[in-house]
Amino acid sequence: MSLVEITAQSHGVLLDLVYGGDNNFTGRSVYRRPACYLHADAERLLGRAVDLVAARGLKLKIFDAFRPSEAQWILWNHRPDPEFLADPRGGSPHSRGVAVDLTLTDFSGRELEMGTGFDAFTAFSHHGNSCVSAQAQGNRTLLLGLMRSAGWDFYRLEWWHYQLFDSHRYPVLGDSALPEGMM
């Protein structure tokens, strides 16, 4: 299993790994050592997305990517909500290294308006929600179009979540899959 580390320098993205601090829905740090990894197949598609986004004068900001199965259990135990969190017994695309949570920013790093923040577990987070502003709808559509053009699938309930189309063919991985653990 090949996990590739994603850094601002190596991939031209911004990182705000929210589970590495206490500003997330659990109210505490989930990762002891926050880091961003993707399976090599997903990393290739991320590279395509970065190029497509940069051509529009924008950047990607990543909130989460590979999530060790131990972390998925922490999130699930805090909020067992199958609409917004994958049940760890079945495995999450994040725990397979083939999902990424992200948004668009301008080149200075200012996030584009998306109508909700990351991990807003409400119907306002759904793709196509017409109750968010027209600007947010347009920005979500732009993100969706760029990510789909790069080869990513999306999750209809979370504007920020993208994954490989065949995510379940990849094995669920724990912290021991990393060269240096995150947990």
- Distance between CA atoms of residues 30 and 10, nearest Å: 24
Domain that holds residue 51: 3-112+167-177
Mean pLDDT over 153-171 rounds to 97
Indicate the average pLDDT of the chain.
97
- Distance between CA atoms of residues 117 and 103, nearest Å: 10
In this structure, is residue 153 part of a structural domain?
Answer: no
Q: Is the pLDDT of residue 86 over 80?
A: yes
In this structure, is residue 105 part of a structural domain?
Answer: yes
Catalytic residue ranges? 158
pLDDT band at 1 (very low <50, low <70, confident <90, very high): low
Q: Is the pLDDT of residue 83 over 70?
A: yes
Residue 102 sits in a domain whose CATH number is 3.30.1380.10
Question: Number of folded domains in the chain?
Answer: 1
pLDDT band at 2 (very low <50, low <70, confident <90, very high): confident
Helix, strand, coil shares, percent, the chain, to 5: 35, 15, 50
**48-57 pLDDT, tens digit each:** 999 999 999 9
The pTM assigned to this predicted structure is 0.97
- Distance between CA atoms of residues 96 and 174, nearest Å: 9
- Distance between CA atoms of residues 21 and 30, nearest Å: 7
Residue whose structure tokens are 């031209």:
12
